[in-house]
Chain A
Amino acid sequence: MRIVIDNVEKRFGDAKKKEVTALKNINFSIEEQEFVVLVGPSGCGKSTLLNIVGGLLSPSQGEVYFEGKQDKDPTLGIVFQEIALLPWRTVYQNVIYGLEERGASKKECQEIGQHYIDMVGLTGFEKAYPKQLSGGMKQRAGIARALAVEPDLLLMDEPFSALDAQTRTIMQEELLTIWNRTKLSTLYVTHNIQEAVYLADRVIVLSRHPGEIKEIIKIDLPRMGRDQEKYRQQFERYSDQIWNLIRHDAQAAIKEA
């Protein structure tokens, strides 16, 4: 299945009846098994766009749809920036939440749940409550929960931005490994350019006020091991290219805040 974001626009009416156009003319698609990363300075509408694609916000104009041969309703898996694990459920109960809601049997839940808990490296923590986990481990549980529904589209909104730099680097590597096993179509939001180049098949660069697509950059590097020495130059070139596209907007964003 392919996901099409068709001419999406989003306006917010603020308290003084002044309208803010957060997104405008957003057109792109996510192919099957493609990893698309949205980058842009803070406030450019990345979360807004991801929420629209995730069905948590309605666009003011345009639409988002799945295109494919299957007739079933597409499933979405979202990994939230705020992690959003239910505090009253254990890791295992959180991971199987989506399966449970789809009426999977106990045995199925057990099998699939355990599979993804193992995959994200949380084996042994099934019975722990979120409160007992570190930030990185919480987000692993969040990722397992999203993977467990085996979604047609995986959405991630700055999933690692609350983590410290070391944990983040490790989680990025692990995410790639996991992605390689599952090959889920993914829309990933970040403000971190290195992260974008490291993970993406294509990087979509957004501008601010209004949030529009500035450029779509295809990353022509092998999926795995982009941090190796031999790709260093190309990696830097992509990073510079993206930085030059958003530098001006990022500076403006600082002044505003």
Chain B
Amino acid sequence: MEPTTKKVIKNRVAFLEKQIPGYVSVAGIVGLLVLWELVCRLNIVPPLFLPAPSAIIMDGWQLISSGELFKNFMASLYRILGGYAIGAVFGILVGLMLGFSKRADAIFTPIVYAIYPIPKIALLPLIILWFGIGEMPKVAIIALGVFFPVLINTFSGVKSVDPILIKAAVTFGSNHVNVIRKVILPGALPTIFAGLKLAAGTALLLLVSAEMIAAQYGIGAMVLHYGNLMITTKLMAGVLILSLLGLLFNRGLQWLERILIPWK
């Protein structure tokens, strides 16, 4: 008699569903910090070039307790939130308009594409001439940098809405305004969010650049200031705050996306 063999068929794509526990990501960051600290403690890199995390935290604490960090942080926060909000709102509105009206599309789209590739920071001197040296030029430059990617994404989102949905809405009595409000806007929302996330990076970049060029307060100005004084611990504290700001921005957008796009 032949021996019976048993061959179990295993799921060969189990790796697609593999669950990794949350602490693994935390361990990654902690590992990096430990490594960094070690490199500095062992004097492999001089502290002026790369201060240790512990030193950054100590000097960072000074910045916090003196209120200096908070003052600079708030100045930056106002600029970036203001500029981002203005740029995003106008970007979405104009994008919807260009996407919906063939005439507006024909007139404005070439103009948009001509202005889009200009690095917006190049316009800062001009904008300072227009608005003076207050908060306005910084907010305006961020708004401008946010406006274009949001507009272009909104536009392509509108174009990607399935025409059958528009036909269905019109059939069931929607006028143009409601077609935009109830069909085109939600249909374009996922693409709009892609634009909003893209613009968040641009906004941060422009914020820091503008503050380094022309500001008294703000994280960018603070980083530049301590760079000039060669106090790299405080410089790094500023950089970490920027990383935190970017992270916060991203999380905020993710949260908003989950709330606004529950059907995905």
Partners in one complex: yes
Interface residues in chain A, defined as those with a beta carbon under 8 Å from any beta carbon in chain B: 54-56, 75-78, 80, 82, 84-89, 97-98, 101-102, 129-131, 145, 149
CA distance A4 to B159 in the complex (A): 36
* A to B CB contacts below 8 Å, 22 in the list: A54-B171, A56-B170, A56-B171, A77-B172, A78-B171, A80-B164, A80-B168, A84-B167, A84-B168, A86-B165, A86-B168, A86-B186, A88-B186, A88-B187, A88-B261, A98-B173, A101-B169, A101-B178, A129-B262, A129-B263, A130-B263, A131-B263
Q: Are B167 and A56 in contact (CB under 8 A)?
A: yes
Q: Bits for B10-38, please: 1 = Cβ < 8 Å to A, else 0.
A: 00000000000000000000000000000
**Interface residues of A, dominant DSSP:** loop
By Cβ-Cβ distance, the 6 closest A-B pairs, closest first, are A101-B173, A98-B172, A84-B168, A88-B186, A129-B263, A88-B263
B41 at interface by CB-CB < 8 Å? no
CA distance A229 to B248 in the complex (A): 70
| Total A-B Cβ pairs within 8 A | 56
- With A82-B164, A84-B165, A86-B183 already in contact, the answer to whether A76 and B171 are too (CB < 8 A) is yes
* 11 more CB-based (< 8 A) A-B contacts, given A88-B189, A88-B262, A98-B173: A55-B171, A76-B171, A80-B167, A82-B162, A84-B164, A84-B168, A86-B168, A86-B182, A86-B183, A87-B187, A101-B174
Give the residues in chain B near A56, CB-CB below 8 Å.
167, 170-171
Q: Bits for B134-165, please: 1 = Cβ < 8 Å to A, else 0.
A: 00000000000000000000000000001011
Give the residues in chain A near B187, CB-CB below 8 Å.
87-88
Q: Bits for B242-264, please: 1 = Cβ < 8 Å to A, else 0.
A: 00000000000000000001111
Give the residues in chain B near A80, CB-CB below 8 Å.
164, 167-168
Name the distance in Å between A213's Cβ and chain B's nearest Cβ: 25
